[in-house]
Structure 1
Amino acid sequence: MLTLVKIDARGISCPQPVLMTKNALMNNPKEVEVTVDNATAKNNVERYMKQSGYSVSSTNKEDDFILYGEK
């Protein structure tokens, strides 16, 4: 089982960040970190991760949103 998967989806519009997250979660990682740069992508990725069984927290760093998912 993978421990941490990092996804950089900055500059990419939906639905691509969600699809990138979906592909990463197929390997059932224990932790996921997704970086996006717009609120729509943040909300969609966060919702998808929660539906996939991850507890999700997020932080802002400058213009980016960093979402942390953990199983």
Structure 2
Amino acid sequence: MVRIDTCGMSCPQPVLMTKKALDKNPEGAEIVVDNNTAKINVKRYLEKFKYSVEISEEGELYILSARK
């Protein structure tokens, strides 16, 4: 599974990076975000395309695990 680090980026960049990664790896990905807005937007994007999403926290980071 591919891991995408979007820390320090504001929307829509995390969503665009997620889309690009899933185009190459449609089975899933781990997306690392560092703000609540990116977490919500990436989660919404993933759910729109029928990915199951689990969110965990590592310090001040959010890890979104997406799987088909």
TM-score (norm 2): 0.93
Identity %: 51
Please list, as runs of the form range in 1=range in 2, the aligned pairs for 1:1-71 lying within 5 A after superposition.
4-71=1-68
**Is the Cα–Cα contact under 8 Å of residues 36 and 64 in structure 1 kept in the other structure?**
yes
Q: Structure 1 segments of 4 or more deviating over 3 A?
A: none
TM-score (norm 1): 0.89
Question: Gaps spanning 5+ residues in structure 2: where?
Answer: none
Question: Gaps spanning 5+ residues in structure 1: where?
Answer: none
**Is the Cα–Cα contact under 8 Å of residues 7 and 33 in structure 1 kept in the other structure?**
yes
* More displaced 10-residue stretch of structure 1: 21-30 or 31-40: 21-30
Which whole-Å CA distance do the structure 2 matches of 1:28 and 1:63 have between them?
26
Q: Give me the CA root mean square deviation.
A: 0.9
